[in-house]
Chains A and B, each alone.
Chain A
Amino acid sequence: MSLQVRLTFRPPGWQKNLLDIDLVTPATGTTAIFAPSGSGKTALLRCIAGLEPNTEGLIRFRKRTWLDSARQQHVAVNKRQIGFVFQDSCLFPHLGLLDNLRYGARRRGVDPQLEARLIDALDLQPLLTRDVRHLSGGERQRVALARALLSRPQLLLLDEPLSALDAAARYQILTLIRSIQTEWDLPILYVTHSRGEVAQIADQMVLLENGSVLCQDTPTRLFSRLDLPLANRRYSAAMLDCHIVRHDRQYQLTGLHIGNDPTRLIWTGLLPQTEGTPIRLQIRARDISISTIEPQHSSIINCLPAVIDDLRELDPATLLVRLRIDEQYVLAQLTRRSLDRLALHKGQAVFAQIKTVSLTIT
């Protein structure tokens, strides 16, 4: 059960291919497609949906072949049963909001219960009487998402669907997408350049570069690699898969275990989720400092035993250090001066200090 994509795409009038993709992802869970802009992310989704007639190659989803150029096979867009939310959603301006929502559902079977649930979860009730042409960007995106989900897709393609929303709404909608996905076993391809969205939703991640797949793995593993363009001076941040073990209401903090190791506790600001909830923490490389002995008099609460796994020079003054904590990795950005002063080297046991206030989950 997978989505298999092996295609080339040359836009009309182009001399070379915009895309040259070879990709197999499990047809379950969320696969984030992460790339700098202009690397063909949107085009890839459009090719998979069947919106680009110049696509050559093979696309198979679960047991169905959507495209096989060699055998002249091509399943029309409307027969692929896909949900697709574009970056700037296109609502039908001649239809009312409910008719917009039901456009897909009417063609694949209306489910009044699901409709009521989505209207409630996406807070669409106050919009129902509004003219769709006068909705704000965020409102339009919520309608478009509900419309796509109501058509009961087998595969959901999301092209930066939340870029028009604020952080709180984004978090809430990602949670909704996540729960519907689990319920329906709905595979999602999620194009984004937001690390926070990847951290919250992605099981798998595909890194694109110049129209090709650079690599593919879990976000946690990819963001902690030193050899990828993700590891750079401005941007580096690793992710730790944790789960909540307890809330400290007095100090407004939440304690999380890293992986399955009960001895390693990491504290963040108070989180709203209940105990046991898995959380993927993002830790920016510049928010981690290294100490060779366990600090006794530091304001930093989080101090985790770690092993230096690898080092990479970013520029003559700065380095990235990859630290292994339990089975996972984080990155720390240090000056060369600190490195020399502490005589840090590969394989050395150290302590990673992480400021609690810097930890974010969105």
Chain B
Amino acid sequence: MLLSHDLQALWLTLELAGLSTLILLILGLPLAWWLAHRDHMGKRLIEVLVALPLVLPPTVLGFYLLIAFAPQSTLGQGWLALTGTQLAFSFSGLVLGSVLYSLPFVVQPLQASFSQLDRRLLENAAILGASTLDRFFTVVIPLCRRGLLTAITLGFAHTVGEFGVVLMIGGNIPGETQVLSIALFDHVETLEYERAHLMAGGLLLFSFVLLMLLYTQGRNGNYRVHT
């Protein structure tokens, strides 16, 4: 049986991953669109910045975020003034860290599928009277479905699986910052292997099912644009 604070960790993890994925989509969609349709030095710089979390040890990112979140820092102070709470070791801080950490996993698949999209289809849609938003929902989204699905899955799963960043900026506060991966580490530390097994097995199964769904979905719904 999972104890209540394991369930709490599970719920917190899902909340964190869900919220982060939502924010990632809101930021990632326009950013990926911009990256797919521009070509200059500024674009390269942004691309590199977005890709950084792919190669950096999560603890490096976590370390800098910790410093940025500190109550003495500009960001930390601003956040304190705005919300009355501090950013470090808080759920909001975790969301912020997750968004940065998972950004490339959302932006890159979106960018790849946006740049594959035949521009003339969008031009045709515009000529036929569709506004920008209309074109986005009736042409871009259906044709980039696979990229979007990949982005959501990877963004979500990657946030569920993060450890280093959370450890640095979140600590281990049950109900506030203790996510599954940290709870698992906790169990191992305290030699509660039975509960560790349950948690690790559960995460393994979850990841497997998620990827399985993505791969089979992708196969059926792979719309290719003929030119």
**CB neighbours of B134 from chain A (8 A):** 78, 107
* Closest B residue by C-beta to A104: B128
Instruction: Give chain B residues whose Cβ lies under 8 Å from the Cβ of A86.
Output: 120, 124
A103 near B142: Cβ-Cβ < 8 Å: no
For residue B130, which residues in chain A have a CB less than 8 angstroms away from its CB? 78, 103, 107
Q: Does B129 contact A (CB under 8 A)?
A: yes
CB of B126 within 8 A of chain A? yes
CA distance A108 to B129 in the complex (A): 7
Closest Cβ–Cβ distance, residue A153 to chain B (whole Å): 9
B121 interface residue, CB < 8 Å from A? yes
Is there an interface contact between A93 and B224, defined as CB atoms closer than 8 Å? yes
Known contacts A86-B120, A93-B143, A94-B143; A78/B225 CB under 8 A: no
Known contacts A92-B139, A94-B142; decide if A107 and B128 are in contact (CB<8 Å).
Answer: yes
Q: Are A94 and B125 in contact (CB under 8 A)?
A: no
Measured between beta carbons, the chain B residues less than 8 angstroms from A151 are 128-129
A51 partner residues in chain B, CB cutoff 8 A = 123, 126-127
Interface members, chain B 114-145 (any A CB < 8 Å): 118, 120-121, 123-131, 134, 138-139, 142-143
Contact with B along A61-99 (1 / 0, CB 8 A): 000000000000000111001111010001011100000
Closest to B128 in A: A104
- Tell me if B219 counts as interface (CB < 8 A to partner A): no
Taking CB atoms, residues of chain B closer than 8 Å to A93 are 121, 143, 223-226
Neighbour of B129 across the interface among A78, A92, A133, CB < 8 A: A78
Q: Which of B126, B128, B225 contacts A147 (CB 8 A)?
A: B128
Given contacts A107-B134, A133-B226, contact A92 B127 (CB under 8 A): no
What is the number of residues of chain B that contact chain A, defined by CB distance less than 8 Å? Answer: 21
Contact residues of A between 282 and 333, Cβ < 8 Å to B: none
Q: Roughly how many angstroms separate A148 CA and B123 CA in the complex, as a whole number?
A: 13
A146 an interface residue at 8 Å Cβ cutoff?
Answer: no
With A86-B120, A90-B121, A94-B143 as given contacts, are A103 and B128 in contact (CB-CB < 8 Å)? yes
CB-contact partner of A104 in B129, B142, B225, under 8 A = B129
Q: Would you call A49 an interface residue if the criterion is a C-beta within 8 Å of the partner chain's C-beta atoms?
A: yes
Inter-chain contact B224/A78, CB cutoff 8 Å: no
Residues 132-151 of A contacting B (Cβ, < 8 Å): 133, 147-148, 151
Q: Contact: B226 with A78, CB < 8 Å?
A: no
Inter-chain contacts of B138 with A (CB < 8 A): 103
Contact A92 B120 (CB under 8 A): no
Name the residue of chain B whose CB is nearest to the CB of A51.
B123
Docked complex Cα distance between A151 and B124 (Å) = 12
Query: Are A49 and B124 touching (Cβ within 8 A)?
Result: no
Partner of B127, one of A77, A94, A133: A77
CB atoms of B143 and A107 under 8 A apart: no
Q: Which residue from chain A places its CB closest to the CB of B139 in the assembled complex?
A: A92
Q: Which residues of A contact B120 (CB under 8 A)?
A: 86, 90
Interface size on A, residues (CB 8 A): 22
User: In the complex, what residue of chain A is closest to B121 when comparing beta carbons?
Assistant: A90
Q: Which of B125, B127, B143 has the most CB of A within 10 A?
A: B127
- Chain A neighbourhood of B142, CB < 8 A: 94
Taking a contact as CB atoms under 8 Å apart, the answer to whether A78 and B131 are in contact is yes
A77 contacts which chain B residues (CB < 8 A)? 123, 126-127
Residues of A within 8 A of B126 (CB): 51, 76-78
Q: Given the known inter-chain contacts A90-B120, A92-B121, please indicate yes or no for A84 contacting B127, CB distance below 8 A.
A: yes
The closest CB in chain A to the CB of B226 belongs to A133
CB atoms of A90 and B118 under 8 A apart:
yes
Q: How far is the CA of A296 from the CA of B134 in the complex (A)?
A: 71
Q: Contact at B118–A107, with CB atoms within 8 Å?
A: no
Interface residues of B in 197-227 (CB under 8 A from A): 223-226
How far, in whole Å, are A78 and B121 apart by their CA atoms in the complex?
13
A49, A78, A81, A133: most-surrounded residue (chain B CB, <10 A):
A78
- In Å, the complex CA distance between A147 and B130 comes to 14
Given contacts A86-B120, A90-B118, contact A81 B224 (CB under 8 A): no
Residue of A nearest to B131 (CB): A78
Which residue on chain A has the smallest CB distance to residue B123? A51
Residues of A within 8 A of B128 (CB): 78, 103-104, 107, 147-148, 151
30 example contacts (A-B, Cβ-Cβ < 8 A) are as follows A51-B123, A51-B127, A76-B131, A77-B123, A77-B126, A82-B127, A83-B127, A84-B124, A86-B120, A90-B118, A90-B120, A90-B123, A90-B124, A92-B124, A92-B139, A93-B121, A93-B143, A93-B223, A93-B225, A93-B226, A94-B142, A94-B223, A103-B125, A103-B130, A107-B130, A107-B134, A108-B129, A133-B226, A147-B128, A148-B128
Report A's interface with B, CB cutoff 8 A: 49, 51, 76-78, 81-84, 86, 90, 92-94, 103-104, 107-108, 133, 147-148, 151
Residues of B within 8 A of A (CB): 118, 120-121, 123-131, 134, 138-139, 142-143, 223-226
Q: A81-B129, A86-B124 are in contact. List 14 more A-B contacts (CB 8 A).
A: A76-B131, A77-B127, A78-B127, A83-B127, A90-B120, A93-B143, A93-B223, A93-B224, A93-B226, A103-B138, A107-B128, A107-B134, A148-B127, A151-B128
